[in-house]
């Protein structure tokens, strides 16, 4: 027959040419082992079933985007909280009622009412003979009630505190003044308003000093307005009303205890010594002989920051783990899609095996298709997650919060790694099934 060739066209644009010696050559590069070929075939098969591929990829997109968004939002929220705590000052010690482990928060911080801290404790802690490094301190009690002024009616948090509040918190008065120690002791019905409260009740730039407002069923005279400060250490001064401590305790709430005490230390370097003196003083005050019987907790800012970082970090990663469950759903979708693809291409697999394709080549082809699907979903998911995180940061910043836009490289790497891992994990079974197909049965399959 000489060198005449016969050409047979087989579907999927595969050309097999038989020469005079009954040998054949593959002219199309689909079955070669170059890395780009399985990727090209995978993309081609995705295009052939666009809607099914879209739904499969969508599951991965949602899962990856959820992971990116939760990590970004969680990190930003953590930074916001830490900034608020840092804003109070680095030379402060907090005393809370109720015992706790060193690494955990006391029960009072979780909303449990504990009444072990009293005014006598604050006086003892402010004595130089007891705690020489403490230069000032303030006690706090808080509640909520309806505030009325000329037909305006709104619920606000009121905070009873000592006259030393301004110095301890480094708070600034915009207009008027803060109450004095004498007024604190005389049950004076005086109120200092946060900037937002003043705006709500009297309008922006309104004259509030000397005006009377009603808190619950008690009438208070406004004597001062704070400068805008924002949230700090889990409280927002701008949305609070401040009154003398005993007024809040005896007239508004009918209690004699503190929610907490905050002490100002002369130097950050003396924090540890001051903490030790505070613990000794309170044990003497409460007649406590053994440390395990402590009914109070003492925390400095560093310990508070560490505790907050642990708690918020645990919450962030817990939510991330929940979001990652959607990736498992996406992975099951990939497995289902690949199994359908195997069933639809049984003859193709049989033909490839007939012309010499090894099981490893067949398995690689289907595995690559699974990986391509997940990586495409991963890339789109990362873009979507970063975009949503950015939009959320912009919106929250416009609401007046210091909300940094943070998308870490580790979160993006984690998303890509998870995508590839899901593609491999959920693609192995369909790929192995395709590789184990019997040649004869595959070629006869209709």
Question: Alpha helix (H) ranges present in 126-217?
Answer: 165-169, 181-185, 195-202
Q: Find the length of the chain.
A: 446
pLDDT average, residue stretch 240-260: 94
- For 186-234, the pLDDT digits (tens) are 999 999 999 999 999 998 877 899 999 999 999 999 999 999 876 554 5
Please state, in angstroms and as integers, the Cα–Cα distance from residue 365 to each residue in 39, 274, 355, 362, 376, following that order.
8, 68, 16, 5, 17
pLDDT higher than 70, residue 8: no
Q: How far apart are CA 258 and CA 74, in angstroms?
A: 32
* Among the ranges given (37-51, 255-269, 395-409), the one the predictor scored with the smallest mean pLDDT: 37-51
- For 74-115, the pLDDT digits (tens) are 888 777 776 766 656 668 888 988 877 665 556 555 566 788
pLDDT average, residue stretch 316-326: 75
Q: How far apart are CA 425 and CA 421, in angstroms?
A: 6
Determine how β-strand 24-26 pairs with β-strand 218-226.
Answer: unpaired
pTM here?
0.55
Which helix (H) or strand (E) segment holds residue 297: the answer is strand 296-300
Q: How much of the chain is helix, strand and coil, in % rounded to 5?
A: 55, 20, 25
Mean model confidence pLDDT for the chain: 78
Q: How far apart are CA 412 and CA 383, in angstroms?
A: 10
- For 255-285, the pLDDT digits (tens) are 999 999 999 998 878 988 999 999 999 999 9
pLDDT average, residue stretch 400-419: 77
- Write the DSSP assignment of 329-349 as a string of letters: HHHHHHHHHHHHHHHHTHHHH
pLDDT category, 161, cuts 50, 70, 90?
Answer: very high
CB 70 within 8 A of CB 323: yes
- Predicted confidence at residue 37, as pLDDT, reads 60
- % of the chain exceeding 70 in pLDDT: 77
* Among the ranges given (75-79, 189-193, 340-344, 360-364), the one the predictor scored with the smallest mean pLDDT: 340-344
- For 135-153, the pLDDT digits (tens) are 999 999 999 999 999 888 8
- Predicted confidence at residue 109, as pLDDT, reads 57
pLDDT higher than 90, residue 118: yes
pLDDT category, 9, cuts 50, 70, 90?
Answer: very low
- Predicted confidence at residue 18, as pLDDT, reads 35
* Among the ranges given (241-250, 259-268, 436-445), the one the predictor scored with the smallest mean pLDDT: 436-445
pLDDT average, residue stretch 46-60: 76
- Predicted confidence at residue 261, as pLDDT, reads 93
Please state, in angstroms and as integers, the Cα–Cα distance from residue 214 to each residue in 15, 147, 151, 201, 206, following that order.
91, 6, 11, 11, 18
Q: Where along the chain do its domains lie?
A: 32-81+310-444, 115-294
pLDDT category, 175, cuts 50, 70, 90?
Answer: very high
Q: Which residue has the higher pLDDT, 410 or 290?
A: 290
CB 137 within 8 A of CB 261: yes
pLDDT category, 29, cuts 50, 70, 90?
Answer: very low
- For 216-227, the pLDDT digits (tens) are 999 999 999 999
pLDDT category, 313, cuts 50, 70, 90?
Answer: confident
Find, among 188, 186, 163, 160, the residue nearest to 256 by Cα.
160
- Write the DSSP assignment of 386-436 as a string of letters: HHHHHHHHHHHHHTT--------HHHHHHHHHHHHHHHHHHHHHHHHHHHT
pLDDT category, 5, cuts 50, 70, 90?
Answer: very low
Kindly tell me the number of DSSP H helices and DSSP E strands found in the chain: 13, 15
């Amino acid at each position: 027959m000489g060198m005449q060739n016969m050409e047979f066209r087989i579907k999927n644009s595969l050309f097999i040419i038989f020469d005079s010696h009954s040998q054949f050559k593959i002219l199309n590069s689909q079955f070669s082992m170059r890395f780009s070929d399985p990727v090209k075939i995978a993309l081609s098969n995705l295009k052939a079933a666009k809607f099914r591929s879209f739904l499969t990829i969508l599951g991965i997109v949602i899962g990856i985007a959820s992971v990116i968004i939760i990590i970004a939002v969680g990190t930003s929220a953590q930074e916001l909280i830490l900034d608020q705590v840092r804003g109070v000052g680095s030379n402060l010690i907090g005393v809370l009622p109720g015992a706790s482990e060193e690494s955990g928060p006391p029960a009072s911080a979780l909303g449990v009412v504990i009444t072990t801290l009293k005014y006598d404790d604050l006086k003892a802690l402010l004595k130089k003979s007891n705690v020489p490094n403490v230069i000032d301190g303030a006690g706090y009690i808080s509640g909520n009630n309806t505030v009325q002024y000329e037909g305006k009616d709104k619920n606000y948090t009121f905070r009873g505190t000592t006259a030393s509040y301004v110095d301890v918190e480094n708070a600034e008065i915009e207009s008027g003044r803060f109450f004095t120690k004498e007024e604190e002791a005389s049950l004076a019905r005086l109120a200092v308003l946060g900037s937002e409260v003043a705006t709500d009740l009297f309008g922006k730039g309104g004259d509030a000093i000397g005006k009377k407002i009603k808190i619950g069923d008690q009438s208070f005279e406004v004597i001062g307005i704070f400068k805008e400060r924002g949230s700090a250490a889990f409280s927002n001064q701008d949305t609070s009303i401040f009154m003398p401590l005993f007024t809040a305790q005896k007239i508004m709430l009918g209690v004699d205890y503190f929610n907490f005490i905050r002490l100002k230390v002369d130097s950050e370097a003396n924090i540890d010594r001051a903490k030790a003196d505070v613990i000794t003083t309170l044990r003497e005050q409460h007649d406590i002989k053994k440390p395990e019987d402590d009914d109070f907790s003492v925390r400095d800012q560093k310990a508070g920051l560490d505790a907050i970082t642990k708690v918020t970090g645990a919450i962030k990663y817990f939510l991330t783990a929940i979001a990652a469950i959607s990736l498992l759903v996406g992975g099951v979708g990939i497995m289902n899609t690949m199994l359908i693809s195997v069933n639809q291409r049984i003859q193709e697999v049989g033909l490839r095996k007939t012309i010499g394709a090894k099981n490893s080549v067949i398995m690689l082809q289907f595995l690559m298709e699974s990986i391509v699907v997940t990586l495409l979903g991963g890339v789109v998911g990362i873009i979507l997650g970063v975009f949503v995180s950015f939009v959320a940061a912009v919106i929250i910043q416009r609401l007046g919060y210091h909300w940094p836009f943070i998308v870490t490289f580790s979160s993006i790497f984690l998303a890509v790694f998870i995508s590839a891992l899901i593609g491999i994990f959920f693609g192995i079974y369909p790929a192995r099934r395709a590789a184990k197909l019997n040649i004869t049965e595959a070629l006869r399959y209709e």
